[in-house]
Structure 1
Amino acid sequence: MKNTGIRIYFLYVLFFFIASCSGVKKNKAKVVFSHIPTEVADVEIDKLDNTSTLFEVSEQGKKWVDSIYDAMPIDEKIGQLFMVAAYSNKDEAHFKAIEKLVTENKIGGVIFFQGGPVRQAKLTNRFQAKAKTPLFIGNDAEWGLSMRLDSTYSYPYNMTLGAVQDLKLIEKMGVQIGEQSKRLGLQFNFAPVVDINTNPKNPIIGFRSFGEDKYKVTERAIALMKGLQSEGVFTTGKHFPGHGDTEADSHKTLPTVKFSKERLEMMEFYPYKKMFAEGLSSVMVAHLDVPSLESRKNYPTSISYNVVTDILQKELGFDGLIFTDALNMKAVSNVYKAGFLDLKAFLAGNDILLFPEDVPLAIEIFKKAYQDSLLTEKRIAFSVKKILKFKYLAGLNSYKPIELKNLYQDLNSSKNAALEYELYENAITVLKNTNAVLPIKELEKQKIAYVKMGDATNGIFISTLKKYAEVTEIADGSLDSLQLKLKPFTTVIIGYHKSNVAFRNYDFTDEELSKLDFLTKSNNVILDVFASPYSLLPITNFNNLKGLVVSYQNSAIAQEVSAELVFGAISSKGKLPVTVSADFVAKSGLSTEKLNVLGFTAPENVGMSPKILSKIDGIAQKAINEKMAPGMQILVARKGKVVFQKSYGSLTYEGEAKVSNTVLYDVASLTKILSTLPNAMLQYDSQKINMETRLDSMLSIFKNSNKKDIRFKELLSHYAQLQPWIPFYKATIDRNGNPLGTYYKKVMEVPYSTKVADSLYLRDDYHDTIMKRIADSKLLPQKGYRYSDFTFIILKEYLEKLTGKKLDELSYENFYKPLGANNTMYNPLEKINKNRVAPTEIDTYFRHQTIQGYVHDMGAAMEGGVGGHAGIFSNSMDVAKIMQLYLQKGNYGNREYFSQKTFDDFNTCYFCAEGNRRGVGFDKPQLGKSGPTCGCASMTSFGHTGFTGTMAWADPETEIVYIFLSNRTYPNDAVNKLSKGNIREDIQEIIYDSIEF
């Protein structure tokens, strides 16, 4: 009986095909058929189970399904089978065409393609309002809504997720995509792709696959599925029976899969079997030629009864919804006519016909088949009731329109980026690490170059690398000339950057392969690949590479996290999802050392609210608007991760030069804890001094002075009765404020070589005058807290006498170079361009010029720019490194600079009982109402403020580092409006308010 029915069916098909080719017009199908036996449809439907416990509905749900179905005429029932394509970036004519299909043909759903989220939401509301039975709405959102929609978030591709070993993160990604999908009114996300990509030449799957290992693919697909479906969004496993080992694109032609059925059951079917047991909602059937499953030559699986019904539904027992792949794809549309193709796909066992080309024509053809009993009521009911059941499960029985308010904000929550950081931290894979070249350590011994390959952007990668160390970008068209430039460098980082949107355009060019081979023979090269791991396939020799990193994609966060890995802020955890060479097979991946250096992440990942932190923007803008400072840098770090780093305003009120994170500020008194104090800690650590050391034993100039008995801890706690300061410069200028010729020359000559500013050189022996005036100065009448610059002028003198080196040299060698604080320096104009330095003042009283790149403090200027109390220029990132060093009690980059005991001794308030809040060199929170902090920092916190409008603060209890840099003294320091406005303190309060756990 079955064979007879099939023979008659093919006569029907042949007759209709001839008729359709003989001029049957769309929407006018008037073909007359003789009666056709119905045994095929009836017998096979009876063998299928449509009462799955996985997708069970309540009695109320069953009544809803039956009532809707029973009220539908045959046209509407057939209309439910179609899910048409819509684009929110097209015109009104397109929208009206879809609307007509909704109102006249009663289609069952819409799959949205390119457009935008708000436009799509409006169209969804519009179409749903016109629908008699609520529509299914779907998107391809394999890596998030951005796969189809602009202004939405793009998560990592499946290939990247294939490297992630923590499945909870992938499930979390599913949850977030599910939340966004639901917010946009979707019931279906046509994901995950469960194709096992065993063919590197696959032109259409590739990075859309989780990898080549069936177990790894399955684990990740299930994790993503569970996350999505936990939010009430149905998922679709695709592309059955398996598109992973093809070399043709089914959008363009019909790919062939030549494996035996046994191989397919063992490999390609494996994920589906496991996912069915876990509750996969639906399956999409691909357009493939699989001879072992379908004997008819070049007959697509999507319209094969044997594949869709016998194998998928009967053998594998799947009873969820079955979608065809898009029916406009050339694999089927070039061979079979619209409408006729739809009927073939439905009779094969599919429930929903995706992207049909001509719905009205198809409905006419279906109706004719129904009239002639080829298409039975039982077959229609089987799929339509299943569709209605899923609509009920999706809540469409009580449909509510999408709320448009805050839609963009809800879809682009900051938690998206927070998760992306975690995913890349777990995905980026190290394949080679000869002699532990990764992470790069001992920065004082390194000279690092960067060479770019590929045609995509690399800005975030290189800028992040430069936050860790001095990295020089090198480029040259000639290989020999390039190598000559690279000769002085100890390490060469090559970044290979390719566009994220490319399917196959990720291969190295022949020229790049030659360049790579040439450079690796003569340099210590670390290759970092921001592209598919398949891009490594053409490389035949990896022997000369010292380090090999696969970062998978070229997104901003991938670049940032990869730079973190290069310098040890994170360790590598990823495993290769596919084989790229005999040496680097699937599951390869080395673990690298994690160093305690600052990294980068989103606020949520360290328990802070980005919404509250965003209030900093308003405070900063207020300061600029009210001319408290022309610009500023603000940085916040917690738990060793920078979570907020922004620059605001301009270098001056008049200029157009904007502040960037690379601009250097005169940090004024922060110099005390950034330069002089850490060097003193080294001497303390080596027991050259202690808290009771007397000043006369430190410097002979004080042996017979009134200061000889001042103890070290009194000196650094500003508890030594010292005068606050002496305006040394006033003794060297005339009544009109002009420098006296006795002390200054306009050009450098012996003995006038101490540069104070442009064309202004001080006598070299004036330093002795400064020290003598300090030694001879009177003490304050009473012992008590009184801030004094003398403390650190004295300490500088001590350190230089003891070591025989200048303070700038000591700080650079002992701290800045090994820390990678290459933006921290005295006298920046000796190293960088002036336009990278914020000016501090228009001096009309001493130097008579704009002070830009020269220290603002007059006393430090008279020391040639190198003062113990002032003179350092830096940016927020470098200051944060040094504060993190303190927070970690002397250890940074897994290197001990000084002992924990030393730090604890210096961070002790020895005179709090006497009303002096100061630690030894560090400022501490206020004891009363007024002080340097918001009043919310813990008493173990420490830091300093600076006259130019700066602040650096760290809190061991909350693990917070807060940096504020500005040039509030520009154009003059007449009124400290920044301090009066409590700007630094208000920002600090916001930071503490943002802490959630």
Structure 2
Amino acid sequence: MKKISIRNSFFYVLFLFIAVGCVGTKTNKNKVIVTNIPSKIENLDSIALSNMPTLFELSPQGNKWVDSVYSAMTLEEKFGQLFMVAAYSNKDSTHIKAIDTLITDHKIGGLIFFQGGPVRQAKLTNRFQSKSKTPLFIGSDAEWGLGMRLDSTYSYPWNMTLGAIQDMKLLEKVGVQIGQQSKRLGLQFNFAPILDINSNPKNPIIGFRSFGEDKFKVTAHAIALMKGVQSQGIFSTGKHFPGHGDTDTDSHKKLPTINSSKEQLQNLAFYPYKKMFHEGLSSVMVAHLNVPSIEPRPNFPSSISYNVVTDILQKELGFKGLIFTDALNMKSVSEFKLPSEINFEAFIAGNDVLLFPENVPAAIEKFKFAYSLNLFTEERLAFSVKKILKFKYKANLNNFKPIATENLYTDLNSVENEALHYELYENAITVLKNTAAVLPIKNLDKQKIAYVKMGDDNNDVFVSTLKKYTEVTVISDVNLDSLQVKLHPFTTVIIGYHKSDVAFSNHDLRLDELAKIKFLAQNNTVILDVFAKPYALLPIINFEDIEGLVVSYQNSAVAQVVSAELIFGAIEAKGKLPVSINTSFNVNDGLPTEKLNRLGFTTPENVGMNSTILSKIDSIATKAIDAKMTPGIQVLVARKGKVIYQKSFGHHTYDRTIKVQDSDIYDVASLTKIIATLPNVMQQYDQQKINLETTLGSMSPIFKDSNKANINFKDLLSHYAGLAAGIPFYKATMNKSQSPSDVYFRKIAEEQFSKKLGDSLFIRNDFSDTIMKMIVESKLSLKKEYKYSDLTFMILKDYLEKTTGKPLDVLIQENFYRSLGMNNSSFNPLTKFDKNRIPPTETDTYFRRQLLQGYVNDLSAALEGGVSGHAGVFSNAMDVAKIMELYLQKGNYGNRQYFSEKTFDDFNTCYFCAAGNRRGVGFDKPQLGAVGPTCGCASMTSFGHTGYTGTMAWADPETQIVYVFLSNRTFPIASENRLSKENIREDIQRVIYEAIIN
């Protein structure tokens, strides 16, 4: 490198004193102050051109471009390349014009964008690039995605959340997606990943931004993220060298001190950098830190220390990439010297790019003046400027094309973001305590669960997801004793601690919250779920009384869903703690939990489905509602054990006063056959109390001497027994004026008239016997052929009740609903649920003469007091999906085997398909011809049922799909079934199959 020949002479030192004032003091704005100039000149001269970066070697054509651009630059243009100025897309025209001026008049080299929006930023990028003679670097702090800075863009979990993940392929996927989005927005640099090892839990500025406190894990996670980002042609910037993890000071406010020895730094803070350099890290950001062990000058920022930036980072550690300062407007450095002096000091120290500088014009003047004094050489300037140009060429900025703003929002917010988000939390959420295997919660039929909220952020998604698994009661009271009285009946108390996901928000537990946790844990079986940084646990001294401890890290909607899944076993715990919690928990602590065979939740893409195609369901459902085929609809789709689509449409009625919610319960009509009667029959079959050849006469003695005595079980349930489709039982209860007879009905409940079928309408308790007598005496078809009949399941209800000694509504709750968590399913729902949760099914003008809301629509079932084998169950889509999933898993749900796989296979067999009867044993099956219950695209192994009120439940073992459709298409009158005529249910099913990718 060119030497300054008079450097060591007395005249040179005297010249410096005359030109710039006394060394180490400040002068007015027209002078240059440089601290310890002789030593800086000496050290700077030792940087040879041979140290130019080798990481991004260019082709001869690339080097030619760099040399030609450099040689064509004026001195001022070369200086301008060193500056990367802050830009915003949410500021006014004054800001935009100021940036214009910096580009056109001062030839700055780049922009770091902060707050704003993606389309606005893209337009500004195009504007600014068009004004720049040399293409600009565009960078951003996208540590957890573009959403860190921009609205309408995506945010991934924080680094500390990612630090709990053990699968580095997932971290690389995060990097790939951040890289893709950065590239789409016209960036070249992502100022990430954070390489700081957060060894100080009180660190106010790194904390959750760090991958953790273990250097090996931090390094592995950072490498994976970097590889993903850089695979998309975006440069990663490791920060904050020499290490910002061991401090309790925010460098935005004042200069932090790192008291580590040089040996400690080498062993810990430098470790990720050494590994990252080997793996191809493009650039490094140098922090503003006071590190006495490597910079002896007191309170001298590392970002302007030649010893740190040049001697250690470049020479000792061998880094050849681009070097950025941290933002030069930060008080930790901006208050150290005048802005123009800081910029020059940072350059002299060995930095290439001066980030977020203040007063660029004044700084350039200082550079020009210092250059005129030979305080640095042309070679030193070329060293950084050519390096910058090389990176610009590598980023293809020599062929810059304007950013296309069309579809920009869609491209930046693709469905893959949410799909990955689910995967990340499924792998991050960490279980730290699991006393007596309290997690996952099992034996739902024996549990009574309460939820208590703590923290000041939203918990709606968590609570609603918990309630999708079983009944969970939200309990609150400011008085601890009163709260405990309310909690006394409950077997398990889930405490959710919810804190804001806004960056740098306070997650610390208050004293009253700590007391509350302690009190509840001492008096209850408690699962504490922390939707906050793991450091929130630091004030808890004793965890002994807490049975279950879950760290969910953040309070995003996805985190809340996935955490609820873990609590109920839809997923297993995989996360490992990235930091230690005092002496209670160590880095890498994390317990595995059992995965139960329960429905979970995710995005369509995670189970091989296309969400864009699946979204067509919305328009079909809306079409049906707009055309008044039904006032409201629930639709649920699950695949591979995961609910991927669950939406409610319309209102309870056409007056549009109550919107349909996922928790609303519908009269499911004939779905009762397969979700209430059939599972109980299958258990009887599984216990070998009946078989396919068992006759009706031997099953039920009342049929022994009837014309139905020899009907076998297989024929009966295949609708191949010749039974009548139905019997108008109600006619036997009407008087001569065609009104309900006083012989059978009362307006007020009495001892013998306690079965309710409407408001102020009670039927004789023994009328069920009359119904069975009428069935026994009914005629049979002379020809053996397929004929669908409700009588089959009315017979089976009678059989079950007499065999077990329990009513069907009790039997289904005990044997299935309670343990399945079907807490929204019931006969006669008005005895359990708020009426406003039940959409009405019909205005009955012919018998009950009233609005039917909460009373079964089917009149035959109503005459049995609302409990029949063929109709009567009210449920929602989620509950129906559970029992359909049980069937899909051949009798298993929640790791509980309700009946054998063989039993399911026997019932799901079409024994008479050759004869044109598509039915299985109790299940409906796909059509054999052109007309039938499905879209015609479901496999022949699929099964399900449809219902008169506009319902459908279908499962397909080959595609592992569960589809549930519920509506009240019979409201206000059931005369014309347009929902069926226009194939709404079938068209939705067709969309589901079209959405299958693999």
Q: Normalising by structure 1, what TM-score?
A: 0.97
- Offset at residue 751 of structure 1 (A): 2.1
1:236 aligns to what SS in structure 2? strand
Quote the offset at 1:629 in angstroms. 1.1
Would you say the 8 A contact 2:27–2:33 is kept in 1? no
Deviations 1:777-804, CA, capped at 9 Å, x for gaps = 1112311111000000000000000011
What does 1:91-110 align with in structure 2 at a 5 Å threshold?
91-110=92-111
Task: Establish whether residue 948 from structure 1 lines up as the match of residue 954 from structure 2.
Answer: no
SS of structure 1 residue aligned to 2:781: coil
1:37 and 1:374 in contact (8 A); partners too: no
Paired position in structure 1 for 2:552? 551
Deviation at 1:764, TM superposition (A): 1.7
Give the secondary structure class of the aligned counterpart of 1:339. helix
C-alpha displacement at 1:39, in angstroms? 8.7
AA at the equivalent of 1:933: T
TM-score (normalised: structure 2): 0.97
Query: Of 10, 15, 24, which aligns to 2:21?
Result: 15
Question: Which residue matches 1:344?
Answer: 345
Change in CA separation of 1:256 and 1:31 when aligned onto 2, cut-off 3 Å: closer
- Identify the residue that residue 441 of structure 1 maps to in structure 2: 442
Q: Specify every segment of 5 or more residues in structure 2 that has no aligned partner in the other structure, as ranges.
A: 1-5
CA deviations 1:299-353 (Å, max 9, x no partner) are: 0000000000110010001110000000000001112111111001001000000
Q: Are the equivalent residues in 2 in contact too, given 1:447–1:471 (CA < 8 A)?
A: yes
2:87 counterpart of 1:122:
no
Distance 1:854 1:11, change over 3 A: farther
Letter in 1 for 2:708: K
Deviation string, structure 1 residues 586-623 (Cα, Å, up to 9, x no partner): 01011000111111111111111111111111111111
Say if 1:561 and 1:600, in contact at 8 Å, map to a contact too. yes
Query: Is the partner of 2:768 in helix, strand or coil?
Result: helix
Q: 1:414 to 1:9 in 2, by over 3 A?
A: farther
Q: Deviations over 1:798-836 (max 9, x none)?
A: 000001100000000000000011001111110111000
Partner amino acid, structure 2, of 1:54: L
Larger CA deviation: 726-735 vs 492-501: 726-735
Q: Distance in 1 between matches of 2:900 and 2:561?
A: 31
Contact 1:883 1:952 in 2 (8 A): yes
Amino acid across the alignment from 2:614: L
CA distance in 2, matches of 1:325, 1:457: 35
Q: Distance in 1 between matches of 2:57 and 2:849?
A: 85
User: What is the rounded CA distance, in whole Å, between the counterparts of 2:142 and 2:790 in structure 1?
Assistant: 62
5 Å matches for 1:154-173? Answer: 154-173=155-174
In structure 1, what is the equivalent of residue 418 of structure 2? 417
Separation in structure 1 between the aligned mates of residue 260 and residue 634 of structure 2, nearest angstrom: 61
CA distance in 1, matches of 2:677, 2:321: 71
Q: Among the aligned pairs, what percent are the same residue?
A: 69
The change in CA–CA distance for 1:190 and 1:982 in structure 2 (over 3 A counts) is same
Counterpart AA for 1:409: T
Secondary structure at the aligned position of 1:267 is classed as helix
Question: Counterparts of 2:193 and 2:84 in 1: how far apart (Å)?
Answer: 19
- Cα 1:521–1:10 change in 2 (3 A) is farther
- Amino acid across the alignment from 1:476: D
Matches within 5 A, 1:892-911: 892-911=893-912
Aligned counterparts of 1:890 and 1:289: Cα–Cα separation in 2 = 65
Q: 1:95 is aligned with what amino acid? A: I
Tell me how far 1:397 sits from its aligned partner: 0.5
> Residues of 2 paired with 1:7 and 1:738: CA distance?
118
Q: 1:748-801 CA deviation, whole Å, 9 max, x = no partner?
A: 113221101010111222212111111111112311111000000000000000
Q: Comparing 179-188 with 772-781, which one deviates more in the overlay?
A: 772-781
**1:479-498 deviations in whole A, cap 9, x for unaligned?**
00001111111101101111
Name the SS of the counterpart of 2:104 in structure 1: helix
Aligned equivalents of 2:32 and 2:389: distance in 1?
31
Q: Which residue of 2 aligns with 1:285?
A: 286
Q: Aligned residue for 2:151?
A: 150
Structure 2 letter corresponding to 1:826? F
Which residue matches 1:175? 176
User: How far apart, in 1, do the equivalents of 2:624 and 2:784 lie?
Assistant: 37
Amino acid at match of 1:411: L
- Kindly state the Cα deviation for residue 243 of structure 1 after the two structures are TM-superposed: 0.1
Q: Secondary structure at the match of 2:391?
A: helix
Q: Distance in 1 between matches of 2:176 and 2:9?
A: 50
Distance 1:392 1:859 in 2: 80
The correspondence of residues 294-443 of structure 1 with structure 2, limited to 5 A, is 294-443=295-444
- SS of the equivalent of 2:139 reads strand
In the alignment, is the contact (CA less than 8 A) between 2:26 and 2:33 conserved in 1?
Answer: no
Distance 2:832 2:494 in 1: 23
Name the residue aligned to 1:574.
575
Q: How does 1:582-621 map to 2 (within 5 A)?
A: 582-621=583-622
Partner of 2:540: 539
Name the SS for the 2:216 alignment partner: helix
**What's the offset of the Cα at 1:166?**
0.1
Q: Which amino acid aligns with 1:996?
A: I
Query: Does the aligned pair in 1 maintain the 2:941–2:956 contact within 8 Å?
Result: yes
Inter-partner Cα distance in structure 2 for 1:58 and 1:927: 66
Partner deviation per Cα, 1:716-741 (whole Å, 9 max, x = no partner): 10001111011222332357653222
Q: Which residue in the other structure is 1:683 paired with? A: 684
> Which residue number corresponds to residue 651 of structure 1?
652
* Counterpart-to-counterpart distance in 1, 2:634 and 2:510: 41
| CA distance 1:77–1:789, change in 2 (3 Å) | same
Partner secondary structure for residue 156 of structure 1: coil
* Contact kept? 1:667, 1:874, Cα under 8 Å: yes
Contact 1:661 1:875 in 2 (8 A): yes
1:957-997, Cα deviation, whole Å (9 max, x unpaired): 11111111111111111111111111111111111111111
Task: State the match for 2:959 in structure 1.
Answer: 958
2: CA distance between counterparts of 1:563 and 1:355?
A: 43
Q: Which amino acid aligns with 1:851?
A: L
Is this contact kept in 2: 1:203–1:504, CA < 8 A? no
The residue that corresponds to 1:519 in the other structure is 520
**Contact 2:20-2:27 at 8 Å conserved across structures:** no
Counterpart residue type for residue 15 of structure 1? G
Distance 1:451 1:183, change over 3 A: same
Match for residue 829 of structure 1?
A: 830
Structure 2: distance between partners of 1:330 and 1:122: 31
The aligned residue for residue 642 of structure 2 is 641
- In 1: Cα distance, 2:609 partner to 2:15 partner: 66
Correspondence 1:869-908 to 2 at 5 A: 869-908=870-909
Name 1:917's counterpart in structure 2. 918
Deviation at 1:46, TM superposition (A): 3.8
1:37 touches 1:373 (CA, 8 Å); kept in 2? Answer: no
CA distance in structure 1 between the partners assigned to 2:158 and 2:680 by the alignment = 48
Cα 1:42–1:59 shift into 2, 3 Å: farther
For the 8 Å contact 1:61–1:389, the answer to whether it is kept is yes
Name the structure 2 match of 1:267.
Answer: 268
Residue correspondence of structure 1 range 129-278 to structure 2 within 5 A: 129-278=130-279
- Code of the residue aligned with 1:479 in structure 2: it is L
Q: Note the C-alpha offset of 1:639.
A: 0.7
For the residues of structure 2 that align with 1:372 and 1:899, how far apart are their CA atoms?
Answer: 91
- 1:494 counterpart residue number: 495
C-alpha displacement of 1:655 = 2.6
User: What letter matches 1:820 in structure 2?
Assistant: G
SS in 2 for 1:472: strand
Could you give the per-residue CA deviations for residues 395-428 of structure 1, whole angstroms, max 9, x where no partner exists?
Answer: 1000000000000000000110100111111100
1:502 Cα offset (Å): 4.5
Relative to structure 1, the CA distance from residue 830 to residue 389 in structure 2 (aligned partners, 3 Å threshold; closer, same or farther) is: same
Instruction: Compute the displacement of 1:17 (Å).
Output: 8.8
Cα separation, 1, equivalents of 2:698 and 2:970:
38
Give the letter for the 1:707 counterpart: K
Structure 1 CA distance, aligned partners of 2:792 and 2:17?
103
1: distance between equivalents of 2:21 and 2:987?
81
**Could you list the runs of 5+ residues in structure 1 that have no partner in the other structure?**
none
Matched with 1:707 is 708
1:696 to 2:702 alignment: no
Other-structure match for 2:663:
662
Matches of 2:221 and 2:468, distance apart in 1:
34
Q: How does 1:845-856 map to 2 (within 5 A)?
A: 845-856=846-857
How many residue pairs get aligned? The number is 990
Aligned to 2:154, what secondary structure does the other structure show? Answer: coil
What SS does the corresponding residue of 1:96 show, helix, strand or coil?
Answer: helix
Offset, 1:37: 8.3
